[in-house]
Chain A
Amino acid sequence: MADSKKEATEVIDPAVAAFIEEDAKRKAELEEAKAKDFEKPYDTEALLEVRHLRKCFPLQKSLLGKVQRELVAVDDVSFKLNAGETLGIVGESGCGKTTLGRAILKLHEPTGGRIIFNGEDITDFNVKQMRKNRTEMQIIFQDPYSSLPPRSTVGDILSEPVKVHKIVPDSEVKDYVMDLMEKCGLRDYYYERYPHEFSGGQRQRICIARALSVKPKLVICDEPVSALDVSIQAQNINLLKDLQKSMNLAYVFISHDLSVVKFISDKIGVMYLGSMVEFGNKKDIFSNPIHPYTKALFSAIPNPNPDVKMNRIVLNGDIPSPANPPKGCRFHTRCPNATEKCKYVTPEYREYEPGHFAACHLCEEEFSKK
């Protein structure tokens, strides 16, 4: 058994070696490009710019605290987001979308890369410096049941951030909060009620109101509607959209539900195992998906029309463990069209159409033919 394996590897060896060499070369090139990228001036138009963001979690530490094994949760993610726009991030569980959202807010300290918010590099800001920035960037969490303090009334929950950040003078706080509650579809007599008296949809509205109480410019929505029922989901999505228009908010909308993301987003990023595999405007991504994973993801959504026959691309297998990701293209283990090259060489994340990025060898070949 062992002998035959040896032989087999020896036979393919030259090709594989070439691939491995190519991979190493590409990686070196990438590092260079990264270094150059960091020196580029900040885009003054964009509200949020993320450059090659990387976040690792230590899995195993030596006695002296040196990290021996790590899990790369977010690897080399870059994008730009303008004020008033929505970026939708889709992907399966464990692909790093939540970590990305939290790293942008610096709730997780990023391991590498740069976060430029409002023309300022906030990557190395400490807690004190960040506190000033917190009024500009807020988050709405997934689970409305565990993200509200059970012992405070709605009024307390909503007025606390206003008081802490001194958004309005103390005497006007109550009026301000009442106004905010009205905007978010909460009745005025909810002010003295406790979170447990509300249903999931209403609690999520309280969370939305709390996030908006400090007049942010950017709100990270981490699966804000996935815990809700369909009819309540629609109410809250509409609310988010209305608020965006009236307050000129930018959203980073994290969700696994593609139809919701399609509805609310202007730009969409598709993540797989920690890296962005495709990024572009909504129209481009939906009319012309490039990456095979995006295609499979789109085809997997059940269509609520019994007459439409599904031409489904069913992916085999599960997501590989992010602690031990496959070499080369990370998607090659499940990709229906994977080639030998995909197994060894990391694909380049490049622009195929203006504003439409993807990382796939197969598309590269296709486009070079054109």
Chain B
Amino acid sequence: MSNEKNTEKTQKHYLTSKEIKAIAKENSKVMKALEKKKYRKAVESEFVTTMKDDKNILEIEDLHTYFFTDQGVVKAVNGVSFNIPKNSTVGIVGESGCGKSVTSMSVMRLLQGPQGQIYSGSIRFKSEEFKRDAKGNPIPVFVKDENGADTQVQATSSSGAPLFEMEEKVLDIAEMPISEIHRIRGRQISMIFQEPMTSLNPVFTIGNQLDEVVFIHSPGATKEMAKKRSLEMLELVGIAAPERVYNSYPHELSGGMRQRVMISMALICDPRLIIADEPTTALDVTIQAQILDLLRDLKDRINGSIMLITHDLGIIAEMADYVVVMYAGRVIEQGTVSEIFHNPMHPYTIGLQKSKPTMDSDSDTLFNIPGNVPNPVNMPSHCYFKERCSKCIGKCSGDYPGMIQVSPTHYVACHLYGEEEKNG
């Protein structure tokens, strides 16, 4: 073993305690400021904005989410921008550690503080909220009786929950203080987590956990109403004996059933956006097929949008309308499903598609992308994919490539195509 390699090893892998202390000091300053911002009291005008495109339900623009560790700042999400149009499914693909889950956590504001912070950027969400009177109470909708006069009888929805007047507002989730986030989280954006085994509370019955969501998010809900709604949702997700499941504990259910319960919990408030973070990774193939069928079915029925996070290109091809490909905290390619699958442009997207053995292919060796994802601390300034890329050109050693528009919906961040465009 040569000395050169030894020194390289120490330089690359270990920090001295002095260095760690300096980093920690620096970090704590930034973290304190960001935490202060997170817990501040703010007037609504500070985070009400307008959408760039009215068709979108969610717009993420230049989002930076960092983790401040003692080894250095991990830029888990480093300038991500994409939109989710109404009534569509947007798939986010990437390998582990590429920041897809952190993006979804930023939207839900579920980042583990104080290390995990949204550093900058904006997440605009078109929310539909209760109209509130001067005292801050929701204004009920009254039914007109036969005489045509307003009576004090409140209108109810089909499930028996009281109705209130609603209004549409555009909120910037990244700017909102954490105390206001409950207006959106759970009611309007809900999340299906990856691990159905660990995301249900083991000491409460399924019914208990489902009812709780109703109590919290619909004012004036009674016990009977909540139960009725919970059973309705359990039936909607295809559980054959909702009454039995309602009374059972999570450990009594199988993985597929638990994931169904999770989905019903996510849908219980009729959310406008569902974030499904690897909803089928922990499940078997046949159960996965059931869950995917269910999700597709439900999207049309509840008229919402889905942000689907997965590493399986097959699921994306089947479910999504738009695809966002992420690599090392950045979006490297985005477009419609057919654009990404029939005309992939970024070398990483191409490699990803080739490296998965498919049922139709008969080749002898698999295409593989050499190397690993670079270390998230100390990212290089050039293209992050450069070391693993087989199509490198001289320009790749320069700055990180910007987003290049290939078609009205297709964007790619790669120097290969920038040249072409200029030449043509």
Contact = CB atoms under 8 A, between A and B. Distances in A.
Interface of A: 92-93, 188-189, 191-193, 197, 199, 201-202, 229-235, 237-238, 241, 256, 258-260, 262-263, 286, 296-307, 310, 312, 314-316, 318-319
A92 B282 CA distance: 11
B290 A315 contact: yes
Contacts of A241: 365
A189 B2 CA distance: 9
Contacts of B337: 306
Contacts of A192: 1
B369 A234 contact: yes
B95 A230 contact: yes
Nearest to B4: A189
Q: Which 10 A-B pairs have the closest CB atoms?
A: A302-B314, A234-B355, A234-B368, A263-B357, A92-B284, A300-B289, A229-B95, A231-B369, A304-B313, A234-B366
Contacts of B254: 318-319
B366 A237 contact: yes
Contacts of A199: 372
Given A241-B365, A262-B359, A303-B314, 6 more contacts: A231-B351, A259-B356, A263-B361, A303-B358, A306-B338, A314-B289
Contacts of B369: 231, 234-235
Interface in B350-395: 351-353, 355-359, 361, 365-370, 372
Contact of B318 (A202, A231, A306): A306
Interface residues of B, number: 47
B177 interface: no
B367 A234 contact: yes
B1 A263 contact: no
B371 to A, nearest CB: 9
B399 to A, nearest CB: 25
B341 interface: yes
Contacts of A233: 355-356
Contacts of A305: 317, 341
Contacts of B292: 302
B318 A302 contact: yes
B311, B315, B316, B365 — most chain A CB neighbours (10 Å) = B365
22 contacts: A92-B287, A93-B255, A93-B284, A229-B96, A230-B355, A231-B368, A232-B95, A234-B369, A259-B357, A260-B357, A263-B357, A298-B359, A299-B289, A300-B289, A302-B288, A302-B292, A302-B315, A303-B358, A303-B359, A304-B356, A305-B341, A306-B338
Nearest to B310: A302
The prevalent SS among residues of B at the interface is helix
A256 B285 contact: yes
Contacts of A318: 254-257, 287
A237 B357 contact: yes
A319 B285 CA distance: 12
Contacts of B287: 92, 318
B312 interface: yes
A132 to B, nearest CB: 35
B9 to A, nearest CB: 7
Contacts of B11: none
A230 to B, nearest CB: 5
B29 interface: no
B5 interface: yes
B286 interface: yes
A304 B285 contact: no
Given A201-B372, A310-B318, A304 B256 contact: no
Interface in B301-359: 311-318, 337-338, 341, 351-353, 355-359
Contacts of A256: 284-285
B359 A314 contact: no
Nearest to A192: B1
B368 A296 contact: no
A192 B9 CA distance: 11
B56 to A, nearest CB: 22
A201 B371 CA distance: 10
A352 B359 CA distance: 24
Contact of B13 (A197, A259, A260): A197
B293 interface: yes
A356 to B, nearest CB: 19
Contacts of B314: 301-304
A200 to B, nearest CB: 8
A303 B359 CA distance: 8
Interface string B388-418: 0000000000000000000000000000000
Contacts of B289: 299-300, 312, 314-315
Contacts of A230: 95, 311, 313, 352, 355-356
Contacts of A188: 1
Nearest to B368: A234
A150 B359 CA distance: 38
A293 B357 CA distance: 22
B360 to A, nearest CB: 8
Q: Which of A192, A193, A314 has the most CB of B within 10 A?
A: A314
Given A296-B286, A314-B290, A189 B359 contact: no
